[in-house]
């Protein structure tokens, strides 16, 4: 695995850092991406079959809407996996909010949170239990990752490709900017 690069810009108004991941796709990543691609094809055929066959119009419309929702969901997961594993992430923390931008090629992911709405800030080290060891196969963590959470659905996780010292220094800088209630 290649090394990742961390660039930090810090001044009194904002903290901005960029993580460029040097990880490579392994067999598990390729397997998951191929499963998602096959899902795209199956749902596309499902939509085509629903449109072209005879039947009750309302049921055909319901199937097409259901398939489009599933297609959107699979596409969103695919983009998330690609950005998380191989993409470039940029996080900017100013006095009011945190802005996250992740990208890998044409795939982009963005999220913004107000600082006063953040519920949890954690540095999660890689554990020795079976769950974190098996998740390491997917995320390729070196030491752990930083998680900033507004709710269960609005969460930013990053830093899994950084070395221990870089991750701890980054966590310290973020903790200075995001003053969590004790």
State the pLDDT at residue 4: 66
Q: Which CATH number fits domain 5-21+87-177: 2.30.29, 3.40.50, 1.10.287, 3.40.1000?
A: 2.30.29
pLDDT for 146-178, tens place per residue?
Answer: 888 888 778 888 877 778 888 888 888 888 888
Residue-range domain boundaries for the chain: 5-21+87-177, 29-80
Tell if the pTM clears 0.75, that is, is over it. no
* Torsion sign (Cα): 86, 122, 168, 12: positive
Q: What is the pLDDT of residue 129?
A: 44
Q: Tens of pLDDT along 105-125?
A: 777 888 888 888 888 888 877
**How far is 177 from 57, CA to CA, in rounded Å?**
56
pLDDT in tens, 29-38: 677 778 777 8
Flag whether pLDDT at 140 surpasses 60: no
Q: What are phi and psi of 113, to 5 degrees?
A: -135, 140
The string of pLDDT tens digits covering residues 13-64 is 778 888 887 666 666 667 777 877 787 788 777 777 777 777 677 777 777 7
Query: How far apart (Å, rounded) are the C-alpha atoms in residues 11 and 165?
Result: 21
Q: What is the DSSP letter of 2?
A: P
């Amino acid at each position: 695995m290649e090394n990742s690069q961390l660039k930090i810009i810090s001044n009194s108004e904002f903290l901005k850092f960029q993580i460029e991941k040097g990880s490579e796709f392994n067999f598990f990543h390729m397997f998951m991406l191929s499963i998602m691609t096959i899902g795209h094809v199956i749902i596309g055929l499902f939509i085509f079959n629903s449109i072209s066959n005879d039947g009750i119009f309302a049921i055909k419309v319901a199937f097409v809407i259901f398939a489009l929702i599933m297609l959107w969901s699979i596409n969103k997961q695919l983009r998330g996996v690609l950005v998380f594993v191989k993409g470039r992430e940029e996080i900017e923390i100013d006095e009011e909010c945190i802005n996250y931008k992740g990208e890998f090629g044409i795939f982009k992911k963005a999220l913004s949170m107000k600082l006063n709405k953040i519920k949890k800030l954690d540095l999660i080290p890689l554990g020795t239990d079976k769950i974190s060891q098996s998740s390491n196969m997917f995320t390729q963590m070196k030491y752990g990752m930083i998680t900033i959470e507004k709710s269960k659905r609005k969460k930013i996780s990053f830093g899994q490709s950084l070395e221990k010292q870089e991750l701890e220094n980054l966590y310290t800088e973020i903790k200075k900017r995001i003053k969590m209630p004790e």
